[in-house]
Amino acid sequence: MKIQLALDRLTEQECFRIADETSDNIDWIEIGTGVIKEYGMKIVREMKAAYPEKTIVADMKTCDAGKHEAEQAFKAGADVMTVMGFSHNSTIKQALEIANDANKRIMIDLLGIKDAKRVKSLYDLGADLFCLHIGKDMQKEGSIADPALFRLVKGLNDIEVAIAGGISEKTIGELKDSIADVVIVGSAITGNQAPKEASSAIRNKLEK
């Protein structure tokens, strides 16, 4: 199981400091939507240059202009770009085509998607990497990611599943033996005064 570090609501300096401190314990580095809006594709390029061995995720949350935004992300060095699952099918198809041509990947963000039929239709379009996502504002109302979300991808073959939403050292245990391939951790690491130790604790919980 891979750990994806979500860098969001941070300064550029904080992003690189935390990535540096946690690099031994994480596999994928996500440049969050807010960070991209603040610093643009420049920070994606710089993060890939600094960590060429890591999978860099540009959390674009694309919901239109799939071709253009996929080209932007991949030219900047991203290995994965996020597209919202509620986007028009043509947006998703365009993004997938660009990703396939560039030997990159599209992660479909299922934030707000409650119907497994919609996920199946995305799968039929060629999507094979899905993010089960409880958003930050939803977390404030007490919801966090848990195994119940896996029903959305039940029965889909040859896919990878990421899960995000309030995951921490305390909650990671219930995901350890799940179908998740990637666990996305944000504030439990980035909001910790000792991000290296926090990421190490989460890694140790997965490897026990």
SS (H, E, C) 52-96: CCCEEEEEEEECCCHHHHHHHHHHCCCCEEEEECCCCHHHHHHHH
Do the Cβ atoms of 99 and 105 come closer than 8 Å? yes
Q: Which of 65, 54, 52, 109 is nearest to 86 (CA)?
A: 109
Point out which residues pair with 161 in neighbouring strands. 130
Per-residue pLDDT of the chain (208 residues; tens, 9 = 90+): 999 999 999 999 999 999 999 999 999 999 999 999 999 999 999 999 999 999 999 999 999 999 999 999 999 999 999 999 999 999 999 999 999 999 999 999 999 999 999 999 999 999 999 999 986 666 655 556 678 899 999 999 999 999 998 899 998 988 988 999 999 999 999 999 999 999 999 999 998 7
